[in-house]
Amino acid sequence: MEHYNMNLNLKVWRQKNTKSKGEFKMYRVENISSEMSFLEMFDVLNEQLIHEGEEPVAFDHDCREGICGMCSMYINGKPHGPWQANTTCQLHMRAFKDGDTIVVEPWRANAFPVIKDLVVDRTSFDRIIQAGGYISVNTGNAVDGNALPINKDKADASFAAAMCIGCGACVAACKNSSAMLFLSAKVSHLALLPQGEPERHSRVINMVAQMDKEGFGSCTNTGACEATCPKEISISNIARLNQEYLVASLTAEK
C-alpha cells in the first residue's frame, strides 16, 4: 500500500447548541497522512483549533472500530462517507486526495435534534427499544441454553439483523427520515427466534407506534437506508416488519 500526505479544505457544520442556528465554516488541514482515520484527521483539526484559541468541533465517537454506533458524520452528502458498509470512524484518509474539499454535517432529522456541531440526540432510538425491543425474561428464569435447538439458518439470519449498531445513518440517508431499517432490524432479530415468539405481535405494534410518536417519517421504499447502512442490514427486514405488523394488526385482541 502506497502512503501519501495531503492538504484538505474542510467545510464543517458549526452549531453552538440545539437552539442556535448553525452555519458552515471553512478550515484547512495540512500534511494529513493517507494512513489516518477520518476521525484522526478531525483530531488534527481540533488540536489546531485549540491551539488557535477556537473551540474544537464537537463530534460523537467512542470505540473507533465500527461497533459502538456512536460516530455519525454526514460526509460529502453520505452518512459515514464514501465507503460501502463502513462507519465514519473506519473511514480512512486514503479515500481522499490532495486538494479535496470535504463537507461534513451532522445527521439531519427531526427526531435527532443537534446538540452541538456534529453531535445529535438519538435517544429516540432507546425509546423505540423501550416500547418492546426485548424478550421479557427476568434474570434467573432461563432454561438450559441447549434445551431449545434453533435452526442454524434462522439463528444466522437473526444474528445478521442483530448486527445493527443503532447509529442512525439509515435515518440520515432517508429523504423521509424514516427509522424503518433500524426498527425492522430489531423486530427481525427477535421475531426470527423462538424465544421472541410470545411477544411477537405486541412488540411490533408498540414499537411502530413509538417510532411514529418520535417524529420519524414513513417509508417509501427508496432503499437509501440499505445502501448506507454500515452493517449491511438488508431492506428485506422492512418487508418482514410490514408483514409482522399486518399479521399483528389482524390478530390484535386489544
Q: Which of residues 85-124 bind other proteins (CB under 8 A)?
A: 85-86, 90, 92, 94, 115-116, 119, 121-123
Q: Which of residues 8-47 bind ligand FES (CB under 6 A)?
A: none
- Whether 132 and 203 have beta carbons less than 8 Å apart is answered as yes
Please report where in the chains the cell 417519517 appears, as a residue: 217
* Shortest spacing between CB 5 and ligand FES, in angstroms: 24
Give the residue among 226, 231, 185, 235 at the shortest CA–CA distance from 86.
231
- Whether 29 and 7 have beta carbons less than 8 Å apart is answered as yes
- Whether 233 and 163 have beta carbons less than 8 Å apart is answered as yes
Please report where in the chains the cell 470512524 appears, as a residue: 89
Among ligand SF4, other proteins, ligand FES, none, what binds residue 71 when CB lies within 5 to 8 Å by partner kind? ligand FES
Question: Among 81, 132, 133, 168, which residue sits at the site for ligand SF4 (rule: CB under 6 A)?
Answer: 168
What DSSP string describes 192-218?
TSGGGGGGHHHHHHHHHHHHHHTT-B-
Dihedral angle, C-alpha 97, 100, 106, 109, nearest 10 °: -100
Question: Among 13, 125, 182, 216, which residue sits at the site for other proteins (rule: CB under 8 A)?
Answer: 125
144 touches other proteins by CB under 8 A: yes
181 touches ligand SF4 by CB under 6 A: yes
- Whether 148 and 195 have beta carbons less than 8 Å apart is answered as yes
Question: In a 3-state reduction of DSSP, which class is residue 14?
Answer: strand
207 touches ligand SF4 by CB under 6 A: no
- Whether 66 and 230 have beta carbons less than 8 Å apart is answered as yes
Please report where in the chains the cell 432510538 appears, as a residue: 125
Question: Among 6, 38, 69, 73, which residue sits at the site for ligand FES (rule: CB under 6 A)?
Answer: 69
Question: Among 4, 7, 9, 17, which residue sits at the site for other proteins (rule: CB under 8 A)?
Answer: 17
Q: Which of residues 214-253 bind ligand SF4 (CB under 6 A)?
A: 229-231, 233
Q: Which of residues 40-69 bind other proteins (CB under 8 A)?
A: 40, 43-44, 47, 49-51, 53-56, 58, 60-69
C-alpha span between 209 and 190 (Å, rounded):
18
Question: Among 44, 63, 150, 163, which residue sits at the site for ligand FES (rule: CB under 6 A)?
Answer: 63
Cell numbers placing 186: 430489531
Which residue, 49 or 162, has its beta carbon nearer to ligand SF4?
162
Q: Which of residues 169-228 bind other proteins (CB under 8 A)?
A: 189-190, 193, 195-196
Question: Among 82, 98, 110, 137, which residue sits at the site for other proteins (rule: CB under 8 A)?
Answer: 137
- Whether 110 and 177 have beta carbons less than 8 Å apart is answered as yes
120 touches ligand FES by CB under 6 A: no
How many CA atoms lie less than 13 Å away from 204 in the CB half-sphere?
A: 30
Which residue, 27 or 125, has its beta carbon nearer to ligand SF4?
125
Which residues lie near ligand FES (CB under 6 A)? 61-64, 66-71, 87-89
Which residues lie near ligand SF4 (CB under 6 A)? 164-170, 181-182, 185, 229-231, 233
